[in-house]
C-alpha cells in the first residue's frame, strides 16, 4: 500500500490523516474513516444509538430501514408505533456519523482568552484570530467506538481466514514434498537397476565367447584324435602280438588313415 493511500479514506477519499480503520472488504485490506465504516456496515449496529450488536435484536424489538439494511432499536425510534422507519443516512444524504466540532482553546495564565500560543505574551501577534482545535464530542466518540468494534471484528475474521489458508498451504506443501521425495527415490531405484543390468550384460559377453572357444577346441581335439582299439591282445610266448586274419584288413585301414 502506497504512502498516499495510507493517509486517505478508501471509501470517500477524504484526506484523513488520523482515525482510519483497517478492514478487510471484498477480499482486500483497506482503510476507512469512521463515517465510511458505519455507512458500509449497516445492520451491525443501531443506526440511532450506535450500539454494536453482538446478536441482532429480536423482530419485535427492532425496526428495519425501508431503504437499506440498517437496524434500530424499537426503543430508540421517536415513533416506535410507526413501521415506516428510515435511518438517518437515508433520510439525509449529507448525514455523517462522525463529526469533529471546532473548539476554541481555553484560556490559561500563560495564554489568556483571545491570545494564541504564538503570542509573545505582550499581546504582539501578527495573527489576532484565535486558533481553533477539533474536539470529539460524545456522539462522535460513540461513532468512533462503534467503527473501531466493527473493524476489530472484521480483522479478527480476516485473521481466522488467513490462518486456515496458511494451514491449507502448509499441508499442500508437505504433500508435494513427500511426492517429490518418493519420485526421487523411484528414479534412483530405476537408475540403479539399469546400471546393474548394464554391468551384467558386460560380464556375460566375455564368458559366452570363452565358452564358444572351449567348445571349438574340444571339437577339434575329438576330430584329430586316433581311435584306440577296444581290445588289446596279449603278447605271445615269443613276445609278439598274435594277429588274426580277420583283423589284418582293419589294422591296415586304421594305419592308412593315420598316415594320411
Q: Which of 71-75, 161-165, 206-210, 244-248 has the lowest mean pLDDT?
A: 244-248
Q: Which of 69-73, 141-145, 174-178, 244-248 has the lowest mean pLDDT?
A: 244-248
Q: What is the pLDDT of residue 2?
A: 46
Are 34 and 21 in contact, with CB atoms under 8 Å apart?
yes
Give the Cβ contact number of residue 62 at 10 Å.
Answer: 18
Residues 204-240 pLDDT 10s: 665 556 566 666 777 766 665 555 555 555 555 555 5
Of residues 223 and 79, more confidently modeled? 79
Q: Across residues 36-45, what is the average pLDDT?
A: 90
Of residues 38 and 249, more confidently modeled? 38
Residues 88-111 pLDDT 10s: 888 888 888 887 766 555 555 555
Q: What is the pLDDT of residue 208?
A: 57
Residues 168-201 pLDDT 10s: 999 999 999 999 999 999 999 999 888 888 888 8
Residues 129-152 pLDDT 10s: 555 666 778 888 899 999 999 999
Using the predicted structure, report yes or no on whether residue 116 has a pLDDT greater than 70.
no
Are 150 and 45 in contact, with CB atoms under 8 Å apart?
yes
Q: What is the pLDDT of residue 183?
A: 94
Let me know the angle formed at the C-alpha of 133 by 108 and 95, rounded to the nearest 5 degrees.
145
Q: What is the pLDDT of residue 1?
A: 45
- Distance CA(255)–CA(260), nearest Å, equals 9
Q: What is the pLDDT of residue 184?
A: 93
Does the model's pTM come out above 0.85? no
DSSP 241-260: ----TTTHHHHHHHHHHHH-
- Distance CA(134)–CA(107), nearest Å, equals 16
Of residues 35 and 7, more confidently modeled? 35
SS3 of residue 112 by DSSP:
coil
Using the predicted structure, report yes or no on whether residue 74 has a pLDDT greater than 90.
no
Of residues 180 and 85, more confidently modeled? 180
Are 20 and 98 in contact, with CB atoms under 8 Å apart?
no
Q: In degrees to the nearest 10, what's the CA dihedral of 136, 138, 141, 146?
A: -160
Cell numbers 509573545 correspond to: 120
Q: What is the pLDDT of residue 255?
A: 53
Are 39 and 97 in contact, with CB atoms under 8 Å apart?
yes
Contacts of residue 44, Cβ cutoff 8 Å, sequence gap at least 6: 52, 53, 150
Amino acid at each position: 500500500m502506497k504512502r498516499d493511500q495510507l493517509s486517505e479514506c478508501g471509501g470517500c477519499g477524504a484526506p484523513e490523516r488520523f482515525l482510519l480503520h483497517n478492514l478487510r472488504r471484498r477480499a482486500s485490506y483497506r482503510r476507512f474513516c469512521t463515517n465510511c465504516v458505519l455507512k458500509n456496515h449497516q445492520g451491525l449496529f443501531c443506526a440511532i444509538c450506535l450500539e454494536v450488536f453482538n446478536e441482532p435484536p429480536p423482530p419485535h424489538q427492532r425496526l428495519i430501514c425501508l431503504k437499506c439494511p440498517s437496524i434500530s432499536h424499537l426503543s430508540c425510534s421517536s415513533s416506535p408505533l410507526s413501521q415506516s422507519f428510515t435511518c438517518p443516512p437515508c433520510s439525509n444524504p449529507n448525514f455523517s456519523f462522525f463529526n469533529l466540532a471546532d473548539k476554541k482553546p481555553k484560556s490559561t495564565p500563560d495564554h489568556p482568552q483571545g491570545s494564541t500560543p504564538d503570542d509573545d505574551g505582550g499581546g504582539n501577534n501578527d495573527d489576532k484570530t484565535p486558533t481553533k482545535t477539533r474536539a470529539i464530542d460524545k456522539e462522535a466518540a460513540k461513532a468512533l467506538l462503534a467503527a473501531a468494534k466493527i473493524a476489530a471484528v472484521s480483522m479478527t475474521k480476516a485473521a481466522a481466514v488467513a490462518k486456515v489458508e496458511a494451514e491449507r498451504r502448509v499441508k499442500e506443501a508437505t504433500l508435494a514434498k513427500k511426492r517429490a521425495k518418493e519420485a526421487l527415490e523411484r528414479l534412483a531405484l530405476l537408475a540403479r537397476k539399469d546400471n546393474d543390468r548394464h554391468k551384467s550384460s558386460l560380464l556375460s559377453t566375455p564368458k559366452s565367447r570363452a565358452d564358444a572357444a572351449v567348445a571349438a577346441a574340444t571339437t577339434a581335439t575329438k576330430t584329430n584324435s586316433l581311435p584306440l582299439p577296444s581290445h588289446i591282445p596279449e603278447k605271445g610266448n615269443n613276445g609278439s602280438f598274435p594277429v588274426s586274419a580277420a583283423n589284418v584288413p582293419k589294422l591296415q585301414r586304421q594305419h592308412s588313415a593315420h598316415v594320411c
